[in-house]
Structure 1
Amino acid sequence: MLEMKTACEHCQKRLDHEDEAYICSYECTYCKSCTVSFDTTCPNCQGSLLRRPPRQARKEGSPSTVSRGDPLK
C-alpha cells in the first residue's frame, strides 16, 4: 500500500491525504511548487514525479483494508 507522507521532502510543507502532491516510484513526496521547480524530476532518483492519488480519511468503523476479490475468477 502507498505510504501517504504528510510533508514535502524539500520544503516541509504539510500535505494532507487529499492535498495535491507528487511522488516518484520510490515514493519520494513533494508539493506542487517544489515539483514545478524540479521540472517534474525527482532530485533523489532522477525519476518522473507524478501526481499522488488522493486518499479519503477513513471513517470510524470502516475496515482498514480493501478487499480486491479473487483476481483469478
Structure 2
Amino acid sequence: MLEMREICERCTAPLGWDSSEARICSYECTFCAPCVDGPLNGRCPNCGGVLQPRPTRVRKTA
C-alpha cells in the first residue's frame, strides 16, 4: 500500500491524504507542488526520479 506521508520533505508544508499538492517519486519521497515546480525542478533530490502527482485517498468515516 502507498505510504501517505503528511508533510513535504523539503519545506514541511502539510499534505493531507486528500491533497492535490502532493508529489511523489517511485520511492514515495513526498514533496509539495511549489517545491517540485520551483527549486526541485521536477526531480527528487533523494533519488533523482521524476516527481508525479500523488493519488488522493478519502478518509473513512465511522
Tell me the TM-score normalized by structure 1. Answer: 0.79
Instruction: Look up the match of 1:3.
Output: 3
Displacement of 1:59: 2.1
Larger radius of gyration: 1
Can you list the C-alpha shifts for 1:14-63, whole angstroms capped at 9, x where unaligned? Answer: 11111120000000000010011211100110000000000001122xxx
After TM superposition, give the deviation of residue 7 of structure 1 in Å: 0.2
Q: Which residue identity lines up with residue 37 of structure 2 in the other structure?
A: V
Large movers: runs of 4+ above 2 Å: none
Alignment of 1:49-64 (within 5 A): 49-60=51-62
Structure 2: gaps of 5 or more residues: none
Flag the structure with more relative contact order, 1 or 2, with Cα contacts below 8 A and sequence separation at least 6: 2
In structure 1, what residue type is equivalent to 2:31? Y
Q: Distance in 1 between matches of 2:37 and 2:45?
A: 12
Quote the Cα distance in structure 2 between the aligned partners of 1:12 and 1:18: 17
Deviation at 1:6, TM superposition (A): 0.4
Q: Name the TM-score, length of structure 2 as normaliser.
A: 0.92
Alignment root-mean-square deviation, CA: 0.7
Percentage identity across paired residues of the two chains: 45
